[in-house]
Amino acid sequence: MLLKVALQLASPPLKRRVERVCRGLDAEVQNLPGARVDVTTVARSCCDILLVQSDCIRPLAPESIRQLQQLPEAPWVVVFEENPEGAVTGKWIAAGAEAVLSPRLTDEDLTEALRSIFTRRRAFLAAALQQQPVPSLADFVSVSPAMQSFLDLVRRVVPSDASLLILGETGVGKEHLARAIHAASPRAAGPWVAVNCAALPDTLLESELFGYEEGAFTGAVRTHRGSFELAHRGTLFLDEIGDMPLHLQVKLLRALQERAIRRLGSERTISVDVRVMAATNRDVVADVEAGRFRRDLFFRLGVITLTVPPLRERREDIPLLIQNFMRHLRPRVNRPVTGITPEAVEALQQYDWPGNVRELMNVLERAMLLCPGNEITLHDLPYAIRCRPSQNPTTGTTSPTTTAPGSPAEWIHRTWEEVRRTELDRVERAYFTTLLHVTQGRVSEAARRAGITPRALFDKMRRHGLRKEHFRSPGPGTPRRRSSDSANPGDQAPAPGEPVRPHHP
- Contacts of 361 by beta carbon, 8 Å cutoff, 6+ apart: 325, 329
Element (H, E) at 184: helix 174-184
| pLDDT at res. 488 | 39
Q: Give CA–CA dist 139/177, Å, rounded.
A: 9
3-state secondary structure 78-104: EEECCCCCHHHHHHHHHHCCCEEECCC
| pLDDT at res. 88 | 77
Q: Give CA–CA dist 179/192, Å, rounded.
A: 8
Q: Give CA–CA dist 55/76, Å, rounded.
A: 18
Q: Which CATH number fits domain 312-402: 1.10.287.470, 1.10.8.60, 3.30.70.2740, 3.60.21.10?
A: 1.10.8.60
Peptide bond into 59 cis (omega under 30): yes
| pLDDT at res. 399 | 44
Half-sphere exposure of 126 (CA within 13 A, CB side): 23
The CA-based dihedral angle spanning residues 450, 453, 455, 461, taken in that order and rounded to the nearest 10 degrees: -10
Compute how many other C-beta atoms are within 10 angstroms of the C-beta atom of residue 424.
10
Q: Which CATH number fits domain 3-129: 1.10.15.40, 3.40.50.2300, 3.40.718.10, 2.170.150.70?
A: 3.40.50.2300
pLDDT per residue, tens digit, the chain (505 aa), is 678 898 988 889 999 999 999 988 888 888 888 888 887 788 777 788 999 988 887 666 677 787 887 777 788 889 898 877 777 778 888 778 888 899 889 989 999 999 889 888 887 777 665 555 678 888 888 888 889 999 999 999 999 999 999 999 999 999 999 999 999 999 988 889 999 998 888 888 999 999 988 877 777 777 888 999 999 989 999 999 999 999 999 999 999 999 999 998 888 899 999 999 999 999 999 999 999 999 999 999 988 999 999 999 999 999 999 998 998 898 888 888 889 999 999 999 999 999 999 999 999 999 999 888 889 998 889 888 877 554 443 444 444 444 444 455 556 556 777 677 777 877 888 888 888 888 888 898 899 999 999 888 988 888 887 888 777 755 444 444 443 343 333 334 444 444 444 444 3
3-state DSSP assignment of residue 486: helix
Exposure letters 392-421 (e unless 16+ CB within 10 A, then b): eeeeeeeeebbeebeeeebbeeeeeeebee
Count, residues in the chain: 505
- Please tell me if the domain spanning 3-129 has the same topology as the one spanning 137-310: yes
3-state DSSP assignment of residue 468: helix
| pLDDT at res. 44 | 75
Helices (H) and strands (E) in the chain, counts: 20, 16
Q: Which CATH superfamily is domain 137-310 in?
A: P-loop containing nucleotide triphosphate hydrolases (3.40.50.300)
What is the residue extent of each domain of the chain? Answer: 3-129, 137-310, 312-402, 425-487
Q: Residue 351's closest CA among 325, 320, 382?
A: 382
| pLDDT at res. 128 | 65
Residue type, 289: E
Exposure letters 316-331 (e unless 16+ CB within 10 A, then b): ebbbebbebbbeebee
Q: What are phi and psi of 172, to 5 degrees?
A: -80, -10
What does the radius of gyration of the chain's CA atoms come to, in whole angstroms? 29
| pLDDT at res. 151 | 93
